[in-house]
Amino acid sequence: MSAGSDPVSPLEQALHAARALVLADLVAQEVAEADVVSMVEDSVVQRRWWVEQWPDGAAYVAGLIAQDVQDALLERYGRWPLCPVCGTGDPHALDVEPELGPDPRWVCHKAGVRVAAVGALGAATGGSSPS
Ligand SMILES: [Zn+2]
């Protein structure tokens, strides 16, 4: 446990924030199990390298990590995050938009709607019933 006098770099802050956003969405859909969390960590490690090569991409890491985790989950578990908007038809996953850009959002291409910002999926799926 070293206190460390280094200030936290903007890159680390961006990575930390991105990690928290993706974890929040995993929790929202109740898939934040230990091995899933380690998928997030793996992605953070890779994106740290990526963003060190291209610091201007710091704003993009949340969307990229969300997509990395989505791909990893698809191989191991299945689709994530499931669309909370379409009540009928085949279950399908949301997509991140933009694929490479700031302020990533989950969108349903089937319904053509923006569901939630990455990190805010819990608010979209939080079970508040329409009145
Ligand atoms: Zn949908």
Arithmetic mean of pLDDT, 68-76: 95
Residue 130 has pLDDT above 50, yes or no: no
If you measure from the C-alpha of residue 14 to the centroid of ligand 1, how many angstroms do you get, rounded to a whole number?
A: 29
pLDDT greater than 50 at residue 128: no
pLDDT value of position 116: 96
Ligand 1 centroid to residue 64 C-alpha, Å: 21
Q: Is the pLDDT of residue 109 over 60?
A: yes
**pLDDT tens, 31-50?**
878 899 999 999 999 999 99
* pLDDT at residue 52, rounded to an integer: 94
Q: Write phi, then psi, for 82 (nearest 5 degrees).
A: -70, 145
Beta carbons of 122 and 28 less than 8 angstroms apart: yes
Q: Residue-wise over 80-101: b if at least 16 C-beta within 10 A, else e?
A: bbebbbeeeeeeebbbbeeeee
Neighbours of ion ligand 1 (CB under 5 A): 83, 85-86, 108, 110-111
99 within a domain of the structure (yes/no): yes
Distance of CA 12 from the midpoint of ligand 1 (Å): 33
4 domain residue, yes or no: no
Boundaries of domain holding 32: 10-124
The total of structural domains in the chain comes to 1
Is residue 2 one of the residues assigned to a domain?
A: no
Quote the ligand 1 centre to 107 CA distance (angstroms). 8
Q: Is residue 5 part of a domain?
A: no
Residue percentage of the chain with pLDDT more than 90: 74
Q: Is residue 52 part of a domain?
A: yes
**In sequence order, what DSSP letters do the residues of the chain get, joined into one string?**
-----SPPPHHHHHHHHHHHHHHHHHHHTT---HHHHHHHHHHHHHHHHHHHH-GGGGGGHHHHHHHHHHHHHHHHT--SSBPSS--SSS--B-EEESSSSSS-EEEETTTTEEEEETT-HHHHSS-PPP-
Average pLDDT on 73-94 reads 91
Q: In this structure, is residue 1 part of a structural domain? A: no
pLDDT at 129 over 60: no
Whether 53 is in a domain gets the answer yes
> Could you tell me if residue 3 is inside a domain?
no
Average pLDDT value for residue range 91-114: 96
